Amino acid sequence: MRLENKVALITGAASGIGKETTLLFASEGAKIVAADLNDSEGQKTISEIKSAGGDAIYVNADVSKAVDCENMINSAEEQFGKLNVLFNNAGIMDSRDDNSQVTEEEVWDLTMAINLKGVFLGCKFGIPAMQRAGGGSIINTASFVGLMGAATPQVAYTASKGGVISLTRELAVIHARENIRVNALCPGPLRTELLMKFLDTEAKKQRRLVHIPMGRFGEAKEMAKAALFLASDESSYTTGAEFVVDGGITSAYVTPE
């Protein structure tokens, strides 16, 4: 039980990486606070955990709002007495996101509010809770595009994930002596609803797949296992890292002839 006696809060817990991570963390002994805006699917996740003998609560939270982020952290401490792991995972990939000329300001602002500000707010309220707990692990979902850029234009998303990586580094340095680790999980292209809605044509899918040495999209469960490593004491000397789990794409990111 790699997370026994730990309390973990996961945002975006109703689907994709968030849901798989929530289920995996619970199976490894963590008490779970699952946060999302999709109440019906979030409650289903909680039911699955409880059916398997785990302990979990659901909190409705819009991570772009400070009051919601403060409430989800407070809920963790009120229900379970502490917070040890914070997975700032909630994010969007707006289908209207394109190049700088096409992308509307509204799309830029919405993407930044959720993908980047949401991570900031999670840390703003989560770090004091971890200080009270004597330390902990924060995992922020970034992306390989924050390191490399994207083959399919999505400027707001790429910029937001680059911001997550920089924010992660900064917080890791600030809090390293407090036994608080902060790492960025950088997935490659995944077979999740989020990305498949964006890559809505076969041509778009192939533009991504041609760059991936492993020749396939990753799975949400694979990202959950990477998050488990960062959440557990096995990564006790890892902080400020870009933990890249991408099928090799960042090692072979070249334009095909």
Task: Confirm whether 157 is a catalytic residue.
Answer: yes
Per residue, the 3-state secondary structure of 170-229, as one string, reads HHHHHHHHHCEEEEEEEECCECCHHHHHHCCCHHHHHHHHCCCCCCCCECHHHHHHHHHH
Residue type, 182: V
**What distance in Å separates the CA atoms of residue 207 and residue 100, rounded to the nearest whole number?**
20
Selection from 18, 95, 24, 20 nearest residue 61 by Cα: 18
Q: Is the dihedral of CA 42, 45, 228, 216 positive or negative?
A: negative
Active-site amino acid positions: 157
